[in-house]
Amino acid sequence: MGGRRRLPATGCRAIAEPALLPYVYRLAPPTGHYELAALEFQALTGADAPAALPWDRQEDHNDVPRFARAGAGVDVARSAYIAECVHVLTEADTLDEMLAATGRLGLRRERFRIRVHKSGYEAPVSSNEIARTIADLIDGAPDLSRPVTEFVVFGSPRRWLLGESVSRGLNAWHGHEQRPFQYSSALPPRVARAMVNLVALPGDRLIDPCCGVATVLVEAAEMGVEPFGWEINRPVAEHAAANLCHHTQQAWLTIGDGRDARGRWDGAVLDLPYGHAAVRVQSECLELVEHALKVAPLAAIVTVDDLRDFLEGLGAAVLGVAELPKNNLVRRVHWVRSPL
């Protein structure tokens, strides 16, 4: 994903019908995180994640789509919720039709491996049998231990697809919960990573004007984004520094009021306090949001309140809102484009 980010338009849509788009993405959000996963998918690919693909199995209303399509193939190594990007080679309604179409491709690869993902398919043929059949249709030698190319099969009762893996998520946020200082109100690292992806690319500069114990700063730095954090509470800022050191990441860290930050950044992430703390500092929080939109073109803001009216009153474009349930609480991630 080289080059600069083009700011998304409000209500950004895919450029073609999903069935015509050549890349399939396998999504892996945990329960309650699909809306944020859909926003991250849109930010990375420029296409909307669908409510459901026609062939994507959903057993009940609590299930979420596990696949989405886009016209571009991108590196998802830094993604929080996208497990894999696959370039579609052929697809059909049945396994036999897909195998026949594969034979007509005349594929030639050396050192390849085939992975099969089946969803709701009850036929007696096993994944290994499917992989062996496809391997026999490819001109070249397989290598199961150190492949150069990975072919991927997605199968469901209504659709079969063969593709070539473009990139896979590295789940680099795993283990970031383990740190010297942890607050119960802090963002989960996976959520923080998705929010960084909404507003910044590797090489960008990101500001977190109320950085807390540096959850966002750690994720941004690990992803190759240059993070700048402000924290008005000195002991908390010291905890943030300790957490950065623990994860061997670097960030610019200032003890002070984020509303005093001067400069220009590519993106902003704000995790605003909630509960009793939010009542005490509500006006300051809104001022932090307003200031962030003056110093960055894109912002990801999480709060328990729905800020759409406030943001639109500032002239900002709300690109999307994702709800994140936490016990009996619902937090909202607002993806916003600055009016400036």
The answer on 158 and 199 residing in a single domain is no
Decide if 3 is inside a domain. Answer: no
- pLDDT for position 14: 35
The answer on 84 and 217 residing in a single domain is no
On whether the CB atoms of residues 187 and 243 are closer than 8 A, the answer is no
- pLDDT for position 215: 97
- Residue spans of the chain under pLDDT 70: 1-20, 50-64, 121-123, 274-281
The answer on 202 and 146 residing in a single domain is no
The answer on 292 and 200 residing in a single domain is yes
The answer on 197 and 83 residing in a single domain is no
Domain harbouring 238, CATH code: 3.40.50.150
Decide if 322 is inside a domain. Answer: yes
Long-range contacts of 232-237 (CB under 8 A, 24+ apart): 232/256, 232/257, 232/258, 236/212, 237/211
The answer on 159 and 27 residing in a single domain is yes
Decide if 11 is inside a domain. Answer: no
Q: How far apart are CA 227 and CA 94, in angstroms?
A: 48
3-class SS string, the chain: CCCCCCCCCCCCCCCCCHHHCCEEEEECCCCCCHHHHHHHHHHHHCCCCCCCCCCCCCCCCCCCCCEEEECCCCCCCCCCCEEEEEEEEEEECCHHHHHHHHHCCCCECCCEEEEEEECCCCCCCCHHHHHHHHHHCCECCECCCCCCEEEEEEEECCEEEEEEEEEECCCCCCCCCCCCCCCCCCCCHHHHHHHHHHHCCCCCEEEECCCCCCHHHHHHHHCCCEEEEEECCHHHHHHHHHHHHHCCCCCEEEECCHHHCCCCCCEEEEECCCCHHHHHCHHHHHHHHHHHHHHCCEEEEEECCCCHHHHHHCCCEEEEEEEEEECCEEEEEEEEECCC
Decide if 295 is inside a domain. Answer: yes
The answer on 132 and 42 residing in a single domain is yes
- pLDDT for position 3: 46
The answer on 146 and 229 residing in a single domain is no
| Closest of 63, 84, 87, 88 to residue 75, by C-alpha | 84
- pLDDT for position 6: 44
The answer on 313 and 252 residing in a single domain is yes
For residue 238, give Cα distances in angstroms to 141, 163, 205, 231.
Answer: 55, 48, 22, 9
**Domain termination residue (choose one: 168, 202, 222):** 168
pLDDT digits (tens, 9 = 90+) for 244-275: 999 999 999 999 999 999 999 999 999 998 65
> What token pair was written down for 328?
């009996």
Name the residue with tokens 């959903």.
58
* Domain assignment of residue 239, given as a range: 189-337
pLDDT digits (tens, 9 = 90+) for 93-139: 999 999 999 999 999 999 999 999 987 766 678 999 999 999 999 99
- pLDDT for position 63: 55
Measured in residues, the chain has a length of 340
Name the residue with tokens 């809102």.
321
Decide if 183 is inside a domain. Answer: no
Decide if 8 is inside a domain. Answer: no
On whether the CB atoms of residues 266 and 300 are closer than 8 A, the answer is no
Domain harbouring 156, CATH code: 3.30.2130.30
Name the residue with tokens 């290598």.
143
On whether the CB atoms of residues 311 and 318 are closer than 8 A, the answer is yes
pTM here is 0.88
Decide if 180 is inside a domain. Answer: no
**Domain termination residue (choose one: 114, 134, 168):** 168
329 φ, ψ to 5°? Answer: -110, 145
The answer on 199 and 90 residing in a single domain is no
How many domains is the chain partitioned into structurally? 2
Decide if 176 is inside a domain. Answer: no
The answer on 22 and 164 residing in a single domain is yes
